[in-house]
Amino acid sequence: NLQYSAPSVLNVIPEYSENLTVNQFPESFLQEDESIKSFIANWSITFNIPHNAINDLLKGLKKHKCFKDFPVDSRTLLATPKQTFTKLRNVDPGTFFYF
């Protein structure tokens, strides 16, 4: 009986398993980080991904050191306005709100 054991990913690419600090990442990586955020934001809007699903994805990504500076909330990623603008119109006997 011949048994095959797949090599560990860490054994295949040991030169990439070093601990790096943010200061050691090249500027191109930091720009790439922003493009990943933009990709996730655009993808979530294109496919109508619910905010709770985006939040769960961001929470999972933040566990990896490469994504430690990612936001934890979809509202930050998508730059959702904090304030809801309303239009008020006086209608007897009260006020009508436009959201």
What is the distance of C-alpha 82 from the center of its chain?
18
Q: How far apart are CA 54 and CA 77, in angstroms?
A: 9
Mean pLDDT of 56-74: 94
Q: Is the pLDDT of residue 19 over 60?
A: no
> Looking at per-residue confidence, does 77 or 15 come out higher?
77
The yes-or-no verdict on residue 31 having pLDDT over 70 is no
**pTM of the full predicted structure?**
0.54
Shortest CA distance to 52 belongs to which of 73, 82, 79, 80? 73
Burial, 98: exposed, middle or buried (Cβ in 10 Å; 0-12, 13-18, 19+)? exposed
* Domain-wise residue ranges, the chain: 9-98
Label residue 12 by pLDDT band (50, 70, 90): very low
- Cβ contacts of 61 within 8 Å, gap of 6 or more: 67, 70
Contact indicator for 55, 72 with CB cutoff of 8 Å = yes
Judged against a pLDDT cut of 50, whether residue 39 lies above it is answered with yes
Q: How confident is the model at residue 97 (pLDDT cuts 50, 70, 90)?
A: low
Question: Looking up tokens 């985006």, which residue turns up?
Answer: 54
Residue 60 has pLDDT above 90, yes or no: yes
Please check whether residue 96 is in contact with residue 89, taking contact to mean a CB–CB distance below 8 angstroms. Answer: yes
